[in-house]
Structure 1
Amino acid sequence: MRIPVALWVWYHGGTFRGFQRQAQGPTVQETLEQALREAGVPSTGVMPAGRTDRGVHARMQVVSLRIDPEDSPQALAQRLPVLLPPSLGMCVARRPHPSFHAQWSAVGKTYRYRVQLGGSVAPEWRPYVMDVREEPRLAPHDISPGRLEELLRMAVGRRDFVAFHENSSPRKERTLESVALKDQGGGLFEVILRGDAFARYQVRYLVGSALLTAAGGLPEEQWRAALETGERIVGLKAAAQGLVLWEVRYPAELDPFTPAERAAPPGLPEGPPFLGAPEG
């Protein structure tokens, strides 16, 4: 019987057409599965904690897979990294609890969104940031960081975020546990969103529509109504390149990864877009 493995991988999304395998690649899934085949792992497919869209990055994406019983996660961790491209890497391979599943065992996720509100985007950040001056609906206006944070904090709580996600995601209540805005200097800001679950495009619509409201392009009463009643709005979907899947959380008894690994992930590259303190 094949044995389960939990794999922590990271990627820069700009070189991929999203996570999920599709006819027009390359995708993270097909690239990872090809590398696994080259590493001697018979392909049965990998199951991610969640799918990311084209252009979205991941500091921590977790996948479940199975390997032959004579193999081991430790041996796989030695073989796999050299077979991956520069934009995709591995931090940890671990044999998890028998009931662990990358997607269904997850109890929450954290996303970070990087947005340039003023100044000039540093060259090293260019592929990983939304510059408000390049968005026509935002460009003519100055956006106050304090106002942006005020609006985003209105979204905290358990609610139906139907006005902020695609119809392809099931309509149900989700909890946005916290939102914080961090000044990274030079006009660069980082929005940190922690929740139990997120629908497709939810973070991008929340951040984009909050930016639009802060810029005066969407009345605050419409923003509030969208949050409180699900009233549809002509919102703004923020650019994919600013978004990072930062962390996937599991119950302590099922978590394959240690607190030390979460605080300082082995093998995670230095530099953008994976800077910033770990989640506290």
Structure 2
Amino acid sequence: MRYLAIIAYDGTAYCGFQKQLTGPSIQQELERAIRLISGEETTVIGAGRTDSGVHATGQVVAFDLEWPHGPKTLWRALNANLPADIAAVRLSETKEGFHPRFDAIKRTYNYYIYNEPVRSPLYRRTSWHVSQQLDIGRMNLAASAIVGEHDFATFGRPPQGTNSVRQVFQAEWNRNESLLIFTIEANAFLYRMVRSLVGCLKAVGEGTWTVERFIAALNARDRDRATQTAPPHALFLTSVIYE
């Protein structure tokens, strides 16, 4: 039986979603918990291979398991055996052959900037502290240029053998008191694409880049033009959409 689960995690202590030789991963912890409750070895497939330090509230995973006790019992057992910084929000049976990455049609990320002169100890693990006041109007003007289908070679690296063209459905900054929240939804993302975009949009907001420079960098399709990259700890994978 193939199962689908929505996973939330604090990525601070992990080297990313995918198993690595260099340290613990979200995938490794999920597979360990499944092995503990079932005695079976299985491979957990994720919708997004989030980087080291990146968080999620809506990561989608799938795995195959012979489990005679029903999905609700599996969901409870899985949560009982996961560390405190990982949780299965929902779990259900799904169709055979479902692939959380290849079957996805949209993915959404949020990025959080804490925009105050003094840092917040409470937000330090989940937001990027920027002390200079940012111009959200200019940032949104630049962000609007990436909506639609574009070649994002300036802002990221595609998987080997694929191109760097992606379709962005939404790219928008909103302010919630001290937090600036960037929401971006696309059919897929390049490696480090969101963090590169945020870094350059932040430069627009502080005035070191113009909107025109941002658009010129996008059109150049030159990785060296993206001179700013935001840190990983303020990035969240929030949802994955399927047909």
Q: Same fold (TM over 0.5)?
A: yes
Deviation at 1:8, TM superposition (A): 1.2
Residue by residue, what CA displacement relative to the aligned partner does 1:158-199 show, whole Å, maximum 9, x if unpaired? 0110000036563232111112222110x2111111111111
Q: Determine helix, strand or coil for the equivalent of 1:89.
A: strand
How many pairs were matched up? 241
CA RMSD of aligned residues (A): 1.8
Matched, 1:58 2:59: no
**1:248-259 alignment, distance < 5 Å:** 248-251=240-243
Q: What runs of 5+ residues in structure 1 fail to find an aligned partner? A: 134-140, 252-280
Q: Are residues 1:127 and 2:133 paired?
A: no
Pick from 208, 214, 217 the counterpart of residue 226 of structure 1.
217
The Cα shift of 1:93 comes to 1.1
Pair 1:113-2:104 in alignment: no
Pairing 1:146–2:146 present? no
Farther off after superposition, 155-164 or 41-50: 41-50
In the alignment, what sits opposite 1:239?
231
Q: Please say which of residues 52-61 and 90-99 is displaced more in the overlay.
A: 90-99
In 1, are the aligned partners of 2:164 and 2:190 still within 8 Å (CA)?
no
Secondary structure of the residue aligned to 1:124 is coil
> Please, what TM-score do these two structures have when normalized by structure 1?
0.81
Given residue 239 of structure 2, which amino acid in structure 1 is its aligned partner? E
Q: Is 1:173–2:159 an aligned residue pair?
A: no
Counterpart of 1:25, as a letter, is: G
**Runs of 4+ residues deviating >4 angstroms:** none
Deviation string, structure 1 residues 179-233 (Cα, Å, up to 9, x no partner):
2222110x21111111111111111001111111332333443321222341440
Question: Given the superposition, is the C-alpha separation of residues 73 and 19 from structure 1 closer, same or farther in structure 2, using an over 3 Å criterion?
Answer: same
The structure whose residues are more often strand, as a share, is 2
1:183: which partner in 2? 175
Point out where structure 2 has 5 or more consecutive residues left out of the alignment: none
**What CA distance in whole angstroms lies between the structure 2 residues aligned with 1:192 and 1:122?**
22
In structure 2, the residue matched to 1:266 is none
